[in-house]
Amino acid sequence: MTPVSAGLKSAGAGTGLRAPVAPAALRDVMSQFATGVVVLTVGGDGCHAMTANAFTSVSLTPPTVLCSVAHSAVMYEALRTAGHFGVSVLGAGQEPLARHFADKSRPLGAAQFDGVGFRLGEHTGAPLLDGALAWLECELSEAHDSGDHTIFVGAVQACRRGADDAGLLFFDGRFDRTPR
């Protein structure tokens, strides 16, 4: 049996036989993959929040999750500096929060949380949004650059469930809800 890695090429290696996939084509195809919606948060002096859908669990033992953040995002440097982060899994009724924390024209720092209900996580000090379906607090354990993003791996320090409601989804370029 051939190891999985035997057929893999390093990033940037190509045969020159195929044209690269256009970013717009990949975005269009990936829009057909429904994802949940979370708000990533960092507390402290560099507090910041960002709506994300590139988030998933990695391992149960040890409890690990990952998120992917563009190098151009404010969250990229905030997360690298803080070394920890919070995750609020949004419910179907929280689309306004998703839009707020995705809006690049919102104020930065603590002002972006004005009028938003939250509590500070006891393990990370990251804001955890009121009314979310679930919350996680993570210590940054690994960071892997890939193209114009970094994959941040977090060791889960605490997690809990919240409201029992439908989840907020992102599909085909728009918000939707999970059926209940």
Contact by Cβ (8 Å): 75, 60: no
pLDDT at residue 1, as a whole number: 44
Domain positions in the chain: 35-165
The predicted-structure confidence for 44-102, as pLDDT tens digits, reads as follows 999 999 999 999 999 999 999 999 999 999 999 999 999 999 999 999 999 999 999 99
Q: Write the DSSP string, the chain.
A: ---GGGG---TT---SSSPPPPHHHHHHHHTTS-EE-EEEEE-GGG-EEEEES-EEEEETTTTEEEEEEETTSHHHHHHHHHSEEEEEEPBGGGHHHHHHHH-TTSPPGGGGGTT--EEE-TTT--EEETT-SEEEEEEEEEEEEETTEEEEEEEEEEEEE----PBEEEETTEEEE---
The predicted-structure confidence for 145-155, as pLDDT tens digits, reads as follows 999 999 999 99
Give me the count of residues in the chain. 180
Contact by Cβ (8 Å): 158, 174: no
pLDDT at residue 85, as a whole number: 98
pLDDT at residue 2, as a whole number: 45
Question: What is 35-165's CATH number?
Answer: 2.30.110.10
CA distance 161 to 143: 26
CA distance 124 to 122: 6
CA distance 51 to 74: 12
Q: What is the pTM of this model?
A: 0.86
The predicted-structure confidence for 104-159, as pLDDT tens digits, reads as follows 999 999 999 999 999 999 999 999 999 999 999 999 999 999 999 999 999 999 99
pLDDT at residue 165, as a whole number: 87
Residue 4 has pLDDT above 60, yes or no: no
CA-to-CA dists, residue 171 to 27, 52, 56, angstroms: 11, 13, 16
